[in-house]
Structure 1
Amino acid sequence: MSQADRDLIFSPFEFRRLRIKNRLVRSSISGTWDHYDGHGTDARVNWEESFAAGGVGAIISSFTPVTVRGRILPRYAMIDDDDKIPFWRRVGERVHRHDCKFILQLSHSGRQQDVGGVENLHRLAKSSTGRKDYFHGILCEPMTRADIHATVQQFAAGARRAREAGLDGVELHGANGYLITQFLSSGINDRRDEYGGDVAGRARFVLEIVRAIRATVGRDFHLQMKINAVDDNNWLYPLEGRGNLVEDTVEICKILEDGGDGVDAFHVSSGSTFPHPRNPPGEFPVAEAIRWYDGMLSSGVRAGLNYAIFRNRLLGAAFERYWAHRRGKVIEGINADHARYIRARVNVPVLVTGGFQRAPAIAEAIRSGACDAVTIARPLIANRDLPAILQTRDEPERPCTYCNKCLLNDLENPLGCYELSRFPGDTFEEKYDHMMEQVMAVFHPRDEAGALERLDEREVAE
Structure 2
Amino acid sequence: MNNDNTDRIFQPLLFRHLTVKNRLFRSSISGRWDNYDGSGTHARLNWEEKFARGGVGAIITSFVPVHVRGRILPNYAMIDHDDKIPFWREAVKRVHTHDCKLIMQLSHSGRQRDVPGIENQMNVGLSSTDKMDTFHGLLCRAMTQKEIADVTGYFVAGARRAREAGLDGIELHASHGYLFTQFLSSGINDRKDEYGGSLENRARFLIETVRAIRKEVGDDYHLQVKINAFDENNALYPWEKKGNSVEESIQLCQWLEKENVDCLHISAGSLFPHPLVPPGGFPLDVAKWTYGAMISSGVRGYFNYTFFHYRCLRPLFAWLWNRTKKRYPIEGVSSEACGLIKAKVNVPVLNTGGYQNGVLIRKVIEAGICDGVAIARPLIANPDLPHILAEGRDEPDKPCSFCNRCLLNAPANPLGCYDLRRFDGDYDAMIADIMSVFHPPAFPE
For 2:7, what is the secondary structure of its paired residue? helix
Task: Give 1:320 shift.
Answer: 2.5
Name which of 266, 281, 289 aligns with 1:291: 289
For 1:64, what is the secondary structure of its paired residue? strand
Task: Give 1:6 shift.
Answer: 6.6
The amino acid that maps onto 1:51 is F
**CA displacement, residues 55-97 of structure 1 (integer Å, 9 cap, x when unaligned):** 0000000000000010001000000000000000010100000
Name which of 432, 435, 443 aligns with 1:440: 435
Cα distance in 1 for partners of 2:5, 2:197 equals: 45
Corresponding residue number in structure 2 for 1:226: 226
Cα distance in 2 for partners of 1:285, 1:317 equals: 12
Cα distance in 2 for partners of 1:279, 1:241 equals: 18
Query: 5 Å matches for 1:446-461?
Result: 452-454=441-443
The amino acid that maps onto 2:277 is N
**Unaligned regions of 5+ residues in structure 2, if any?**
none
Cα distance in 2 for partners of 1:208, 1:4 equals: 44
Name which of 321, 324, 340 aligns with 2:322: 324
Cα distance in 2 for partners of 1:6, 1:80 equals: 43
Contact 1:186–1:243, Cα closer than 8 Å, also in 2? yes
TM-score, normalised via structure 1 length = 0.93
Corresponding residue number in structure 2 for 1:305: 303
Contact 1:131–1:141, Cα closer than 8 Å, also in 2? yes
Cα distance in 2 for partners of 1:266, 1:5 equals: 25
Contact 1:5–1:360, Cα closer than 8 Å, also in 2? no
Cα distance in 2 for partners of 1:140, 1:345 equals: 35
Root-mean-square deviation (CA, aligned residues, Å) is: 1.5
For 1:63, what is the secondary structure of its paired residue? strand
**CA displacement, residues 108-143 of structure 1 (integer Å, 9 cap, x when unaligned):** 000111112111100110000000001000100000
For 1:118, what is the secondary structure of its paired residue? coil
Task: Give 1:453 shift.
Answer: 4.8
Cα distance in 2 for partners of 1:30, 1:131 equals: 28
Corresponding residue number in structure 1 for 2:44: 44
Cα distance in 2 for partners of 1:224, 1:327 equals: 28
Contact 2:409–2:415, Cα closer than 8 Å, also in 1? yes
Corresponding residue number in structure 1 for 2:56: 56
Task: Give 1:312 shift.
Answer: 2.0
Cα distance in 2 for partners of 1:305, 1:174 equals: 28
Equivalenced residue count is 442
For 2:378, what is the secondary structure of its paired residue? helix
How has the CA–CA distance of structure 1 residues 454 and 378 changed in structure 2, closer, same or farther, with 3 Å as cutoff?
farther
Cα distance in 2 for partners of 1:383, 1:282 equals: 17
Cα distance in 2 for partners of 1:76, 1:371 equals: 30
Cα distance in 2 for partners of 1:152, 1:326 equals: 35
TM-score, normalised via structure 2 length = 0.97
Task: Give 1:148 shift.
Answer: 0.3
Corresponding residue number in structure 1 for 2:360: 361
Task: Give 1:255 shift.
Answer: 1.5
For 1:307, what is the secondary structure of its paired residue? helix
Corresponding residue number in structure 2 for 1:185: 185
How has the CA–CA distance of structure 1 residues 349 and 98 changed in structure 2, closer, same or farther, with 3 Å as cutoff?
same
Query: 5 Å matches for 1:392-411?
Result: 392=391, 393-411=393-411
Cα distance in 2 for partners of 1:267, 1:159 equals: 18
Stretches of 4+ aligned residues off by more than 6 angstroms:
1-6
**CA displacement, residues 336-391 of structure 1 (integer Å, 9 cap, x when unaligned):** 11010000001211000011101000000101111000000000000000001111
Cα distance in 2 for partners of 1:117, 1:179 equals: 17
Task: Give 1:21 shift.
Answer: 0.3
Cα distance in 2 for partners of 1:191, 1:242 equals: 17
Contact 1:200–1:255, Cα closer than 8 Å, also in 2? no
Indicate the percent of aligned positions where both proteins have the same amino acid: 59
Query: 5 Å matches for 1:409-428?
Result: 409-424=409-424, 428=425
Task: Give 1:415 shift.
Answer: 0.4
For 2:324, what is the secondary structure of its paired residue? helix
Cα distance in 1 for partners of 2:406, 2:324 equals: 21
Cα distance in 2 for partners of 1:320, 1:164 equals: 46
Task: Give 1:236 shift.
Answer: 1.5
How has the CA–CA distance of structure 1 residues 189 and 5 changed in structure 2, closer, same or farther, with 3 Å as cutoff?
farther
Contact 1:5–1:363, Cα closer than 8 Å, also in 2? no
The amino acid that maps onto 2:390 is Q
**CA displacement, residues 249-304 of structure 1 (integer Å, 9 cap, x when unaligned):** 0111111123xx43111100000010001110000111111101011111100111
Contact 1:42–1:454, Cα closer than 8 Å, also in 2? no
Task: Give 1:26 shift.
Answer: 0.2
Corresponding residue number in structure 2 for 1:459: none
Query: 5 Å matches for 1:88-237?
Result: 88-237=88-237
Task: Give 1:201 shift.
Answer: 0.3
For 1:440, what is the secondary structure of its paired residue? helix
How has the CA–CA distance of structure 1 residues 454 and 185 changed in structure 2, closer, same or farther, with 3 Å as cutoff?
farther
The amino acid that maps onto 1:335 is S
**CA displacement, residues 216-247 of structure 1 (integer Å, 9 cap, x when unaligned):** 10001100000000000001211111000000
**Unaligned regions of 5+ residues in structure 1, if any?**
446-451, 456-462
Corresponding residue number in structure 1 for 2:263: 265
Cα distance in 1 for partners of 2:419, 2:29 equals: 17
How has the CA–CA distance of structure 1 residues 6 and 326 changed in structure 2, closer, same or farther, with 3 Å as cutoff?
farther
